[in-house]
Structure 1
Amino acid sequence: MSKIELHPDRLLPADPAVRSLASRFYEEIRHLPIVSAHGHIDPVLLADDVPFTDPASLLVTPDHYVTRLLHAHGVDLARLGLAHGDGGEQPSPREVWRLLCEHWWAFRGTPSRYWLEAELAEVFGVFTRPTPEAADALYDQLTDKLATPEFRPRALFRRFGVEVLATTDDPCSDLDAHRRLAADPGWNGRVIPTFRPDRYLDPAAADWTQRVADLGRAADKDTGHYEGYLAALEARRAYFIAHGATATDHGPADAGSEPLTDPQARRIYTAALNGTATVAEQTAFRRHMLSEMARMSCDDGLVMQLHPAVLRNHHRATSEVFGPDTGHDIPLAVEFTQALRPLLERYGTHPRFRMVLFTVDETTWSRELAPLAGFYPSVFLGAPWWFLDTPGAMRRFREAVTDTAGIHKTAGFVDDTRAFCSIPARHDMARRVDCGFLANLVATHVLPEDEALQSAHDLTYRLPKDVFRLS
């Protein structure tokens, strides 16, 4: 059988002299704790600590990076175990696993291949390369391991070296899993919620009026009028802070932030509740509420993460059957400079305000984002993520933004994953790429070696803790 071979210098620069420097930096920081400040792991996983049942439901079905590429090569999502909206019959986990092994060639050169190989070899100690012939034996080997205590969620959390894990949570959530973890005397990890209010800020969102009513009940506020709506959002933010939250998370259709006057906002809010707001009014209100979220961050200190301009659920038929987050969100071009000017003119120099900007439009890195972070004390640059959390994009990001914003106006790395076992592999990839970038600065006599090594420590550990106020 073919074997997985993880080269110790993978992703490091090809030039031997630069690679040697990068390797030294990497050895210094490779075992630093993982700070996962932006992700999508369900906290129930750790609160309940129920053993994983099989490799397909752990490594394939929840990872839309994997399922979307299999779908791109003709595999129906129903055959990958994604939930049927029509109640159709589900495949067995073994059948799902076989599909991954039969299409292993489709992942050549992708970061998903890098992560999956690292998971198999470094997490499970399994070095058999997935192939159709090896699929069943590999499935059985992994299933046997998952039945042991060493591979339960909490044991893996400790083994991965995760110091803090931020989840992404609905504003109306009671945060029960977070509360149970915090109260558990046998648990000493740190898992914190993140306030994600998108569907409550945009009147164009499906079921917005119902969500606003739910928000009022959760906050015990009257959201039948605009002032009560704002009070409800503020109350829920305070509830999240009481449960450990340090950040909010926003993914609007664009970065627009023009504020409305109070009378304008009040009028549009009432029209939206009544179902009479125009599309233009809905957009204006959504942009106004982004500015309001910044105002609230100045008051309560929550770090504001912003990642606009992704067309969600591009294929309506897939969305209707399988729901959201099933691999067909597609990036759009985005403009930041004019769009964020109203917000930053109001709050960009406020001492308590902090905003981390992410994008999947890398054309904005050097033209807009780096200059914004290079002026505003409140603005930091989020790592390449989602479609751009690849070695090539990570290198391009550092080269694009460092000239203008430097290293220390970036926020380290975020894994942005729903695939629990991929967390260490994703962070390892970022550490290797950053060490290679820094080694090249030393080799070209731009940066002294001691400062490059300190920067490697900062990017890996100090910056995500500081920027996301996790210290």
Structure 2
Amino acid sequence: MRYLQLHEDRALPLDPTARDIALNLYAETRSLPLVCMHGHVDAAVLADDVPFPDPARMFITLDHYVTRLLHAGGVPLEDLGVGADRDPREIWRTFCAHWHLFRGTPSRYWLTHELVDVFGVELAPAPETADELYDELSERLAEPEFRPRALFKRFGIEVLATTDSPLDDLSAHRRLAAEGWGEQVIPTFRPDALVHLARPQWAGEVADLGRLAGVDTGDYAGYLEALRRRRLDFVAAGALATDHGHESAGTDPLPEADAARIYGAALRGAVSERDAAAFAGHMLYEMARMSCEDGLVLQLHPGVLRNHSRAALERYGPDRGFDIPVAAEFTRSLRPLLEAFGHEPRFRMVAFTVDETAYSRELAPLAGVYPALHLGAPWWFLDSPDGLRRFRQAVTETAGFYRTAGFVDDTRAFASIPARHDLARRIDAGYLAELVARRLLDLDEAFETAADLAYTIPRRLYRRPEPLTG
């Protein structure tokens, strides 16, 4: 029978000198508040504040990092409660029987942190421990201190940004604001579904957008106005950012007549794939223009082929772990946007990638010269110990630390948030410690930088938009 362990120096440098420095740096940042500016926790979870139903839903079914690897190991997604009703205890037993699949993965790190540090369990998942673990975790989840809001406070979360469609009525956020949580749980404007014209549901959703905004979206001008109005609704609800998940980082603007023509063709169900792709890039440019007006930070997550398995999409819906990276290009793709807005004082942009080759070749040089552009933390397949470390190695010499945007947890698994931030803080402490040990950075600067990376930088970057004057 195995027991779970959280080593104090986990993920820190092997060299004893650097490790000792890193432990001191980490000690200064480990208790700083968590700034969670990109994630996928449903605001209703906190608005309702009801106990989490069971360990299977808490740790497995809602976490596609977990379900995708179990599925790759031969477990049908239905057996994990995805798109089907299953006995949560049986789901948990399946998970425990496949615990070995997570060895060496960041999910293993996060899950261990959750089980030990958040829930106080000691037994490692295994077939023979599954029921005992399930019962112990079920007892914890029934206790008041493990309800969502209690965990939120215990985790030290200062602000948590959800990710929301422009079609969301934001009712959960209004309920939270009415109870004094409006500054802590805020929405993020994600218009992807409304800018990708080839989606079968697009025309109906654009009509819904018009009804919510009180604007006729029967033409391109009305469509833009509806998006502007919904953005302002989000700002009023506390939003600090928009978020855009495009396959390409292209931002070429279209002549207004061409954009209107493509929009009209889409309404008739006659848009071509080429025109739809051009319109999506054009809308990134337009979203940057709108950010100059309303001050929302533009977050761009390109380079991912969404829903790689059409069969899985049709059977289970999106966000089931089938988003697969593709090569991304930024230098030419972002040029139109950055030439137009890269020096605008009110415009702030954060670019993410899952194509590591772009870090040092394109993104760091771009962020090292355009004041508006910042580098997003590694996400999806790169928010791992070595992925986070490679990020610092790739970008720091060109862009420094202060052109980065802070860590994002990018998770639906609420209990994993502190584990993900903890790992990022450990990796940054280790990287800074190695610079100190090599006499490339003074120790006092390392302490200051560690706190800035963990807290000060994201708080300053994702600041409340200044009202327009004049």
Under a length normalisation based on structure 2, what TM-score does the superposition of the two structures give?
0.98
The correspondence for 1:329, drawn from 310, 323, 340, is 323
In 1, the alpha carbon distance for the partners of 2:279 and 2:56 equals 42
The answer as to whether partners of 2:182 and 2:237 remain within 8 angstroms in 1 is no
Match of 2:161 in 1: 166
What is the one-letter code of the residue matched to 2:92? W
Unaligned runs of 5+ in 2: 466-470
Report Cα offsets for 1:340-368 as digits up to 9, x if no partner: 11111111111111100000101100000
Q: Which digits, 9 at most, give the CA deviation of each residue in 1:113-162, with x for residues without a partner?
A: 01001101000110110110000000001001111101111110000000
Q: Distance in 2 between matches of 1:20 and 1:434?
A: 14
Corresponding residue for 2:451? 457
Other-structure match for 2:6: 6
Could you report, residue by residue, the CA deviation over 1:368-422 in whole angstroms, capped at 9, with x for unpaired residues?
A: 0000100000000000011100010111000000011000000110000000000
| Residue 221 (structure 1) aligns with | 215
Alignment partner of 1:150 out of 145, 154, 172: 145
1:37-73 CA-partner distances (Å, limit 9, x unpaired): 0000001001000011211011110000000000010
Q: Which residue of 1 aligns with 2:253?
A: 259
Indicate whether 1:307 and 2:275 are aligned: no
Superposed, which structure 2 residues align to 1:196-235 within 5 Å?
196-235=190-229
Match of 2:184 in 1: 190
SS in 1 for 2:61: coil
Deviation of the 1:191 alpha carbon: 0.2
Structure 2 match to 1:181: 176
2:408, 2:464 → 1: CA distance? Answer: 14
Greater shift in the superposed pair: 22-31 or 204-213: 204-213
Q: How do 1:43-82 and structure 2 match up within 5 A?
A: 43-82=43-82
Gapped regions of structure 1 (runs ≥ 5): 85-89
Distance (Å, rounded) in 1 between the aligned partners of 2:69 and 2:265: 42
The CA RMSD measured in Å over matched residues stands at: 1.1
Q: Which amino acid aligns with 1:441?
A: L
Letter in structure 2 aligned against 1:219: A
Contact 2:161 2:188 in 1 (8 A): yes
Q: Is the 8 A contact 2:44 2:172 kept in 1?
A: yes
Q: d(CA) in 1 for partners of 2:266 and 2:146?
A: 49
1:20 aligns with 2:15: no
Distance 2:263 2:275 in 1: 9
Residue 87 (structure 1) aligns with? none
* Map 1:240-259 → 2, pairs under 5 A: 240-259=234-253
Distance 2:201 2:255 in 1: 25
Aligned residues between the structures: 465
Q: Is the 8 A contact 2:240 2:463 kept in 1?
A: yes
CA distance in 2, matches of 1:312, 1:216: 26
Between 1:278-287 and 1:47-56, the stretch displaced more is 278-287
How far apart, in 2, do the equivalents of 1:83 and 1:315 lie?
Answer: 15
Amino acid across the alignment from 1:13? P
| 1:470 shift after superposition | 5.4
Quote the Cα distance in structure 2 between the aligned partners of 1:455 and 1:270. 51
Change (3 A) 1:322 1:408: same
Aligned residue in 1 for 2:268: 274
Residue 281 of structure 2 corresponds to which residue in structure 1? 287
Paired letter, 1:96:
I
CA distance in 2, matches of 1:161, 1:274: 50
1:366 to 360, 369, 383: 360
**CA offset digits 1:77-109 (Å, max 9, x no partner):** 00000124xxxxx21000000011000010001
1:276 is displaced (CA, Å) by 2.2
Residue pair 2:241, 2:462 contacting (<8 A) in 1 also:
yes
Q: What pairs up with 1:367-382 in 2 under 5 angstroms?
A: 367-382=361-376
Q: Aligned partners of 1:82, 1:417: CA distance in 2, in Å?
A: 17
Give the deviation of 1:204 after TM superposition: 1.6
Q: For residue 339 of structure 1, give the secondary structure of its aligned residue in structure 2.
A: coil
The 5 Å alignment of 1:286-435 reads: 286-435=280-429
Q: 1:189–1:290: structure 2 CA closer, same or farther, 3 Å change rule? A: closer
Letter in 1 for 2:213: A
C-alpha separation between the residues in 1 aligned to 2:323 and 2:257?
36
- Which residue of structure 1 aligns with residue 468 of structure 2? none
The TM-score normalised by the length of structure 1 is: 0.97
Instruction: Measure the CA separation in 1 of the matches of 2:91 and 2:191.
Output: 34
Q: In structure 1, what is the equivalent of residue 121 of structure 2?
A: 126
Q: Does 1:94 align with 2:89?
A: yes
C-alpha deviation, 1:462, in angstroms: 0.5
The equivalent of 1:135 in structure 2 is: 130
Change over 3 Å in CA distance of 1:422–1:248 after alignment to 2: same
Structure 2 distance, partners of 1:369, 1:204, is: 29
Report the more deviating stretch, 5-14 or 201-210: 201-210
Give, in whole Å, the separation in 2 of the partners of 1:151 and 1:311: 36
Secondary structure in 1 aligned to 2:299?
Answer: strand
C-alpha distance in structure 1 between counterparts of 2:464 and 2:456, whole Å: 10
Q: Aligned with 2:332: secondary structure?
A: helix
